[in-house]
Structure 1
């Protein structure tokens, strides 16, 4: 299986927040944003795999600020690590008020996808090659996030979470 550089799996998407996208307070509905995030992150994952992918998990989505009617949502998605058949995608969400010329970060999240064949069976995915310092950091931390997801899903016992143990030990040595 070949490898790909992280920048090859970057996707960006823009959406205008219209009245049908908002709640009674004029704020973008969280479910609509999650829908857009799923589309954008799936495009990044499919770009990396050159294959169909399915969403298998959504990590904690932090809502830092509401997005208002009339603002433009910009979603940036990039694969942070590829495992065997799964891959993690990080997203950052920004909102832009065009008349005011302001931009702010509203959300971020990690989604996990699995590449599948026509019979819905998992397929191997290309490895990811991080280049920048930030990509290397996200790549290294991805195994910790993955172990935590597997523990929460009941698929990994905490005692077998090697990356998480290493992280905890590094904190203990700093104390």
Structure 2
């Protein structure tokens, strides 16, 4: 999409940094998955609002694969940006990187795609600008987004029994 009103993916980029405390973890001293999902949803929502400059709601979350545990004392960086748009929906790529502050070891712990829908003042879906990818990662995600969109649509239809 080469929309004259397209916005750069970098314009929606949002980063949250958190130090993991005991209250963030379970009895195995690893971070609660639900707490991490909350952070991911918040960062994705901010990225979507930055792109659309409208109210947004979460429409779906693709599978979250936890690649490594996050432990007490680790720092996490939750990063999100709009990777692709349809008429009123936005695909947001979210990644979580864990850092051990003592060793400096950094690992990508989770990646996922969230879909948000922009809403107008009446709560109805509202058009959003296209995305202009700039980096190699942004171009890769943008190029493969229509396939992911089709899979989400099929998954939704299968669940509704259509």
TM-score (normalizing by structure 2): 0.91
The correspondence for 2:125, drawn from 115, 119, 122, is 122
Alpha-carbon offset, residue 130 of structure 1: 1.3
Bigger relative CO (Cα 8 Å, ≥ 6 apart): 2
Instruction: For residues 93-150 of structure 1, give each alpha carbon's deviation from its aligned partner in whole angstroms, at most 9, with x where no partner exists.
Output: 1111112222111110000000012321110001111123322221111110011001
Partner residue in 1 for 2:33: 30
Q: Tell me, yes or no, if structure 1 residue 142 matches structure 2 residue 162.
A: no
| Aligned mates of 2:102, 2:148 — CA distance in 1 | 39
Count of matched residue pairs: 155
Question: What SS does the corresponding residue of 2:125 show, helix, strand or coil?
Answer: coil
The correspondence for 2:66, drawn from 63, 68, 74, is 63
Q: Tell me, yes or no, if structure 1 residue 18 matches structure 2 residue 50.
A: no
Instruction: For residues 57-82 of structure 1, give each alpha carbon's deviation from its aligned partner in whole angstroms, at most 9, with x where no partner exists.
Output: 00011110010011111011111101
* Root-mean-square deviation over aligned CA pairs: 1.3
Deviant stretches of 4+, over 4 Å: none
Q: Tell me, yes or no, if structure 1 residue 154 matches structure 2 residue 157.
A: yes
Rg: which structure is higher?
A: 1
- Residue correspondence of structure 1 range 74-113 to structure 2 within 5 A: 74-113=77-116
Q: Tell me, yes or no, if structure 1 residue 133 matches structure 2 residue 136.
A: yes
Question: What SS does the corresponding residue of 2:157 show, helix, strand or coil?
Answer: coil
TM-score (normalizing by structure 1): 0.85
| Aligned mates of 1:20, 1:118 — CA distance in 2 | 38
